[in-house]
Amino acid sequence: MSERIPNKSNEKVIRERGIDPVDYDFQEPTPDVKLAIREALKGVIKRNPDTTVVLKKKDLTVPVDLSRRSFLIKGALGVAGITVGGTLINEGLKNILLDYGLEDDDFKESENEKVESIPGSSERFEAEMLGYKALMNLRKDEVLFVDENNIPVGEPVRFEDFVVDRSLVRRDGAGDYLLTPGRMNLVGIPEGGIAGEWLDYVREKVQEKYPNQKITSTLHNVTDFEAALKEEDEPELVEDIKSGKIVTRADIVAHFAKKKVIGAEQYNRAQYVKELVKFRDDVPDCVQNEFKRLLPGLCAQESKFNAGVKSEAVAIGVMQIIPGTWNKYGGDGEGSMSLSKQLEVAGNLMSGMYTKVQDLIGEDTLNIFREKFNTEEDFQKDFLCPVTINSYNAGEARVADAVNHFAKNFSREQIPSGKDLYLAVADHASKSNESDLLRGYKRHSREYVTKVYANADVLEEMGLLNEEEKEIV
């Protein structure tokens, strides 16, 4: 017999429906049933960009898009093997649905509702972006822990000393021990990196506080600030860091992104990249618009908009284009830090990658994936755009190989939709050794796209891309 579960929210709903709670048996679903429902909901609830709710999981808040259609809810329960009888859904089951932001009206039937489109999902993709958006806004003197989905676990932790029992840090003897993040420099970051035993101690404390989210990674901006302090050609940047005016990675990016473009002073660098890049005519308008939105985020990832950066691969400029690519897509000589010339080459490069990666994937595989999207525009924006952005980092051949191996290893029923399809491809590729190309697809390749998307959002939120911010000259 199932246990009677006292629950005030359940009793309130019961009373509102004219049922005496004393006569109602509150049945708690088993863990297997809960899991089945949640998995079914992921695959059945239709994404609706016009309806935004907030998915709350204990200390976690994740924005997701859901529809409010009862046939989808009951369809999800059906997929999970749950029979819904009468007008009152078991309240234990209903609480799971309420976890997904669905309200009482969602359980009412409508004669005119029909399943007209395939569910689209970018929930994992958007959840992963949360960690990278938080990283952009993380202070130089903080660390942030994230779970396997890159969702922050708790709040950022400041660099500070802790007095702990010596045995807690696995040292011989008894007595107090001063645990420090490292030897701090004048701007409040540890020289040479964060001390491992301090990081381990803090991670354990945060994990104890949030046991339902398993910490898998640590985020911080120490390396970025160490590099920024060495920018001899940017004395204002160095001074602003020392004075405390610049305290986050986003602040460093903004320092360079808001610089005026020589010869087009009405634009800052971020605006110039977004508004003046041009693509080939054969690139669909929806893709061009998405590339324009994302390209500032790509520049933030590649160079932080620092035109003077030169990588070990001799990539230069805000786009970090290597000489071979520069010459292939219309550049002169070995490269140029001129933003207008960089943008011309970047437009040709993005257009070329967009076409080439599709040619390498092949029409048969592309058509399998097309089936997972409601419209061609959805397919272009939510799959081909992330794939092209990934190609900028990992190369078209490697990304195409990742897509084709994914298609061979998973059935149509296992293939997700929305941007989560790209993420599933990237997950598989980063763990696969099926080919020489895939062996070169590392973690940084997998993370690159969600970082670019997160950067683009942060730049927009900071107001650096606003049309009205342009100066009249």
For the ranges 133-142, 215-224, 279-288, 307-316, the lowest mean pLDDT is seen at 307-316
Asked if residue 251 has pLDDT above 60, the reply is: yes
* Cross-strand partners of 157: 143
Provide the pLDDT confidence category of residue 267 given band limits of 50, 70 and 90: very high
Which among 39-43, 318-322, 335-339 has the top mean pLDDT? 318-322
pLDDT(372) > 70: yes
Most confident option among 4-18, 49-63, 85-99, 165-179? 165-179
pLDDT tens digit sequence for 60-100: 333 333 333 343 444 444 444 444 333 334 444 455 555 54
Tokens of 289: 């618009």
Retrieve residue 284's tokens: 């669909």
Residue 36's pLDDT is: 52
pLDDT value at 34 more than 70: no
CA angle 144, 149, 155 (to 5 degrees): 25
Of 203 and 316, the one with more pLDDT: 203
Q: Which residues contact 266 (CB under 8 A, 6 or more apart)?
A: 470, 471, 472, 473
285 secondary structure, DSSP code: H
Residue 175: pLDDT band with limits 50, 70, 90: low
Q: What is the pTM of this model?
A: 0.74
Q: What is the pLDDT of residue 299?
A: 97
Q: In whole numbers, what is the pLDDT of the chain averaged over residues? A: 80
Q: Could you state, in order of their start, the residue ranges of all structural domains in the chain?
A: 8-107, 138-228, 261-469
User: Which one-letter amino acid corresponds to residue 353?
Assistant: M
Long-range residue pairs from 182-187, CB within 8 A, at least 24 positions apart, any chain: 184/159, 186/242, 187/140, 187/225, 187/229, 187/241, 187/242
For domain 261-469, give the CATH number.
Answer: 1.10.530.10
